[in-house]
Amino acid sequence: MLALGVPSSVVGDWIADAYLYRRLPGVYAVGHTAPSVQSRLTAALLWAGPGAMLSHACGAWWLGLTARRPPAIELCTPRQVTSRPGIVAHGRSALEPSWLRELPTAPIAELLRQLATTASDDHLRKALSEAEYQGWLELGQVRAVCGRGRPGSAKLQAALGHHLPQLAVTQNDFERRLIYLCERHGLPIPECNVHVEGFRVDALWRREKVIVELDGKDGHAPWSRIRRDRRRDVILRAAGFVALRYVWDLLKHEGDLVAADIARALSQAARLA
């Protein structure tokens, strides 16, 4: 504000009159303190100074690569900055930021390597497929940031070795568990969340015309939903599709049984084709 020509006395009056609200050292909100995710992230970036960027799990979450909101804001900065409650600063960074979703973030490939230091294998593979699906990176860029002594490299390289682009269109753990089940049992990987005969189905083997629907973790549903789902199954069967349904417990605890059922349906469809 001083650089814009606002006198220091006026700045002092604005603070006294609660027109400016101190959020962090050197960072003020103007007019109100209504909370928002972007305002909190922006305040942290301004506090960290020029060249700061969102990083690690925080940057991945902001870009939608992972659905898990981190407990603290993490950022990289070329300066040496001391972390404070709620903000973890990684100083002396030579990274050039990328501007995605209106805020500076670490380059996507570096962001994935950083995420690999804390994320589970499942969430790392999902983040990798999401980044590729969004067109934000090439897999060669990911390989280039991995190297001996670079935290997360081994885990990220392992994720690359089992990369499944189909994970990007899964919407929950239930659908990802089905994908991993198919991978583990050597079954073809289905398309997920696609439309067939006007309905969105959870998983589809298009050539074999086999559909899998996943029915909630508790296995229970109101009668109206049961009736709707059964009507949909009849319409899909009339169009030549085989519709299979599984509940969460069956997929989680008896995956071999589910895999065998899917394999049988795919085999029978192939013989009839």
Round to whole Å and give the CA distance between 98 and 131. 13
84 secondary structure, DSSP code: B
Round to whole Å and give the CA distance between 92 and 114. 15
CB 182 within 8 A of CB 189: yes
The separation between the first and the last C-alpha atoms of the chain, rounded to the nearest angstrom, is 72
Q: pLDDT value at position 218?
A: 56
Assign 3-state DSSP to the chain and report helix, strand, coil percentages, each to 5.
45, 20, 35
| Helix, strand, or coil (residue 67) | coil
Q: pLDDT value at position 241?
A: 96
β-pairing verdict for 73-76 and 53-54: antiparallel
Give strand pairing partners of 212: 203, 244
Domain boundary assignment for the chain? 1-32, 35-164, 170-272
Each of the 273 residues of the chain gets a pLDDT tens digit; together they read 888 999 999 999 999 998 999 999 989 999 888 889 999 999 999 999 999 999 999 999 999 999 989 999 999 999 999 999 999 999 999 999 999 999 999 999 999 999 999 999 999 999 999 999 999 988 899 999 999 899 999 999 999 999 999 999 999 999 999 999 999 999 999 999 999 999 999 999 999 999 999 987 655 567 788 888 889 999 999 999 999 999 999 999 999 999 999 999 999 988 886
Round to whole Å and give the CA distance between 273 and 261. 18
CATH topology of domain 170-272: Endonuclease; Chain A (3.40.960)
Q: Note every long-range contact of 73-82, with CB atoms under 8 Å and residues 24 or more positions apart, other chains counting.
A: 73/40, 73/41, 73/44, 75/44, 75/45, 75/48, 76/52, 76/106, 77/48, 77/49, 77/51, 77/52, 77/53, 78/50, 78/51, 79/48, 79/49, 79/51, 79/52, 81/48, 81/49
Residue 251 CB neighbours (<10 A) = 20
Q: Note every long-range contact of 270-273, with CB atoms under 8 Å and residues 24 or more positions apart, other chains counting.
A: 270/208, 273/207, 273/208
Q: pLDDT value at position 226?
A: 82
Closest listed residue to residue 108, CA positions, set 78, 82, 133: 133
Residue 268 CB neighbours (<10 A) = 13
Round to whole Å and give the CA distance between 96 and 53. 9
List the 87-90 sheet strands across, edge first. Answer: 87-90, 73-76, 53-54, 103-105, 98-100
